[in-house]
Amino acid sequence: MTELLTGFFIDPATNTAEPRTIEHSLDAFYRLLNCSGIETVCRTVGTGRSIKPFVIVCDEEGALVEDPLISAINDVGDTMMVGPLFIVSEDSNTGELASLDGEAVTFIRRHVHHLKTYLHPGGWHMLTCCEYPHSDDVF
């Protein structure tokens, strides 16, 4: 039986920002992110007292393409990540990737906004308030 993983998918190239359920496998990540190498990074999303930790699966070479498209910014608009992202949780007992629940999907959706850049005035959906975790953030 194939294990499934539900996360939030953001792809600036297609202006996609939606929950997705995929097979929990490397091949499924490669297909979803349209890449040949992935990495997982820990980031927080939110501001003030409303900050939550997430694991983000992304293309490890996303910044090496010509004209990389911004997919996540911090609270002052600095680029945090580029290219497609798949945002999931971490199982606190095993440390393995885990599906987002409905509350987490709603939280992520509140931090996704259609933004523009100087070079791309049409814009696309980006994750906002994405930060490196602080030492007291729990993953």
Extents of the domains making up the chain = 4-131
Would residue 123 be called left, alpha or beta, if left means φ above 0 and alpha means ψ between -120 and 50 degrees?
A: left
- The rounded Cα 29 to chain-centroid distance in angstroms is 12
* pLDDT recorded at residue 137: 53
* pLDDT recorded at residue 54: 97
**17-71: per-residue pLDDT in tens?**
999 999 999 999 999 999 989 999 999 999 988 999 999 999 887 777 787 899 9
Q: What is the three-class DSSP state of 27?
A: helix
pLDDT at 119 over 60: yes
User: Is the overall model pTM greater than 0.85, yes or no?
Assistant: yes
Q: What is the three-class DSSP state of 63?
A: helix
